[in-house]
C-alpha cells in the first residue's frame, strides 16, 4: 500500500528544502570574493595570504549562495584572529567525481610553527558549547558555524598540515549544473542589489562595501566589452563563457538583476539561439548600467535599505 507521502507515478519529486535554497554558483569566483574580503585583516596581522583553486572544479555547482560564503568568512576570520605568524592558504581540491556530483575539500591551511597557528583555538571553536566555554571560545560562535555548515551541507574538520601548521577542512558534496540545464526559477523583477550578501561579508561597513562594488563594476564593464566583441565576431563559445563569468561574479556580490540577465545570455549562447541574443545583450547592458547608476547615486549608504 502506497504511503500518503509517496510520489505518484508521473509526478515530479519535490526538492528538499535544503536543495531548494541552492543555486548554480561558480565556486572559484565565490572563493575569490571571500578571500579578497578577508585580505585586509590578514595583512593587518602580517600574514601571507594566498588562494589556490582546482581547475577540475565544475563551472557551476548547486551551492547555498549566502550560508557558504558566510561560513567561510567566519572560519577565515577565526583563523586570522588566532594565528600569530606564518601564512594562510585558502585551497580547493576536487576529491572525487560521482556521476552528477563533485566531492570537494575547501582547506584553510596555516603554514608556520604550530605554536603560532590556530589549531587549538579552531578545534575548541568546533567543539560542543560547554567545551568551547572552557577553552574561552564563545558558544554563540559554535552555534553560528554549526547552523551555517548545516545550511551549506558541509562537514568540518581540523587536521595537522602536511608540513608544519594545520588545516581546517570544509568538505562538500555538490551537484554539478550541466551545460544547458536551466537554473532555478527566478522572479521576473529582481533587485539591483541584495544587501544581505554584502552585509554578510562586511556587516554594515559601507565604505568597504562600496570599494568592493566599484572594483566589481570596473571588472564587469571590461567583461561586457569582451562579450560584445565575441558577439560581433560570431564566437558564441567565448560569449557564453564570459556571460557565465559575469553571472557568477554578480551572484557573489548580490547583483541579482545583472546575474539573471547574464544567465539568460549564457543559456541562449549555449543553445545557439542567435535570434534571441540581440535583445538579451541589450538587457544585459541595461542591467549593468542600472547597477552603475545605483552605485553612483548612493555615495553615503547602502543601495537598498534592509
| pTM recorded for the entire structure | 0.55
Is it true that 17-175 and 195-296 share their CATH fold? no
Topology of domain 195-296 in CATH is 1.20.120
pLDDT recorded at residue 10: 41
The backbone torsions φ and ψ at residue 188, rounded to the nearest 5 degrees and listed phi first, read -65, -35
The CA angle 120-104-264, to the nearest 5 degrees, is: 130
CA distances from 301 to 23, 209, 269, 296, 304 (A): 28, 9, 37, 11, 9
pLDDT recorded at residue 49: 92
| Residue 32 and residue 91 in contact, taking contact as beta carbons nearer than 8 Å | no
Domain ranges of the chain: 17-175, 195-296
What whole-number distance in Å separates Cα of residue 210 and Cα of residue 295?
Answer: 8
Which is nearest to 302 in space by CA: 216, 196, 150? 196
The backbone torsions φ and ψ at residue 200, rounded to the nearest 5 degrees and listed phi first, read -60, -35
Residues forming a β-bridge with 25: 61
pLDDT string in tens for the chain (306-residue length) = 333 333 333 443 444 445 556 788 888 888 888 888 888 999 998 999 999 988 888 888 888 877 888 889 889 988 898 898 888 999 999 999 887 899 999 999 888 888 888 887 777 767 644 444 444 545 446 677 888 888 888 998 887 765 556 788 899 999 888 654 444 433 344 567 766 665 555 555 667 777 788 888 899 999 999 999 999 888 989 999 999 999 888 888 778 888 888 988 888 888 777 777 888 888 899 888 888 887 777 655 544 433
Q: How many residues does the chain have?
A: 306
| Residue 158 and residue 126 in contact, taking contact as beta carbons nearer than 8 Å | yes
> What is the distance of C-alpha 275 from the center of its chain?
32
The backbone torsions φ and ψ at residue 169, rounded to the nearest 5 degrees and listed phi first, read -105, 125
Packing angle of the helix pair 277-296, 206-232 (nearest 10 deg): 160
CA distances from 125 to 73, 77, 139, 145, 205 (A): 14, 12, 8, 9, 26
CATH 3.30.565.10 fits 17-175, yes or no: yes
The cell 548547486 sits on which residue?
62
Task: List own/partner pairs for 91-97 with CB under 8 A and 24 or more apart.
Answer: 91/51, 91/52, 91/53, 92/27, 92/28, 92/31, 92/52, 92/53, 92/54, 92/57, 93/54, 94/54, 94/56, 94/57, 95/171
- For the record, the C-alpha cell of 131 comes out as 567545551
The dihedral through the CA atoms of 40, 43, 47, 52 has a sign that is: positive
Amino acid at each position: 500500500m502506497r504511503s500518503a507521502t509517496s510520489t505518484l507515478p508521473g509526478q515530479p519529486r519535490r526538492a528538499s528544502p535544503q536543495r531548494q535554497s541552492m543555486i548554480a554558483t561558480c565556486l572559484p569566483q565565490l572563493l575569490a570574493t571571500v578571500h579578497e574580503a578577508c585580505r585586509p585583516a590578514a595583512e593587518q596581522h602580517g600574514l601571507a595570504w594566498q588562494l589556490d583553486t582546482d581547475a577540475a572544479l565544475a563551472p557551476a555547482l548547486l551551492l547555498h549562495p549566502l550560508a557558504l560564503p558566510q561560513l567561510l568568512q567566519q572560519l577565515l576570520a577565526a583563523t586570522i584572529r588566532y594565528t600569530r605568524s606564518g601564512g594562510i592558504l585558502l585551497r580547493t581540491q576536487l576529491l572525487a567525481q560521482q556521476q552528477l556530483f563533485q566531492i570537494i575539500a575547501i582547506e584553510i591551511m596555516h603554514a608556520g610553527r604550530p605554536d603560532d597557528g590556530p589549531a587549538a583555538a579552531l578545534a575548541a571553536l568546533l567543539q560542543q558549547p560547554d567545551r568551547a566555554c572552557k577553552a574561552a571560545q564563545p558558544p554563540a560562535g559554535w552555534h553560528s558555524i554549526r547552523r551555517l555548515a548545516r545550511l551549506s551541507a558541509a562537514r568540518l574538520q581540523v587536521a595537522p598540515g602536511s608540513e608544519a601548521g594545520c588545516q581546517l577542512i570544509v568538505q562538500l558534496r555538490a551537484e554539478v549544473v550541466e551545460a544547458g540545464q536551466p537554473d532555478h526559477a527566478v522572479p521576473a523583477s529582481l533587485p539591483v542589489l541584495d544587501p544581505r550578501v554584502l552585509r554578510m561579508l562586511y556587516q554594515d561597513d559601507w565604505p568597504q562595501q562600496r570599494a568592493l562594488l566599484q572594483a566589481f563594476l570596473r571588472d564587469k564593464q571590461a567583461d561586457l566589452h569582451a562579450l560584445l566583441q565575441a558577439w560581433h565576431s560570431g564566437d558564441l563559445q567565448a560569449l557564453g563563457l564570459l556571460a557565465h563569468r559575469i553571472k557568477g561574479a554578480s551572484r557573489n556580490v548580490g547583483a541579482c538583476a545583472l546575474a539573471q540577465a547574464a544567465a539568460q545570455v549564457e543559456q541562449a549562447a549555449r543553445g545557439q539561439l542567435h535570434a534571441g541574443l540581440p535583445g538579451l545583450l541589450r538587457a544585459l547592458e541595461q542591467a549593468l548600467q542600472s547597477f552603475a547608476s545605483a552605485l553612483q547615486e548612493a555615495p553615503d549608504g547602502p543601495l537598498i535599505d534592509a
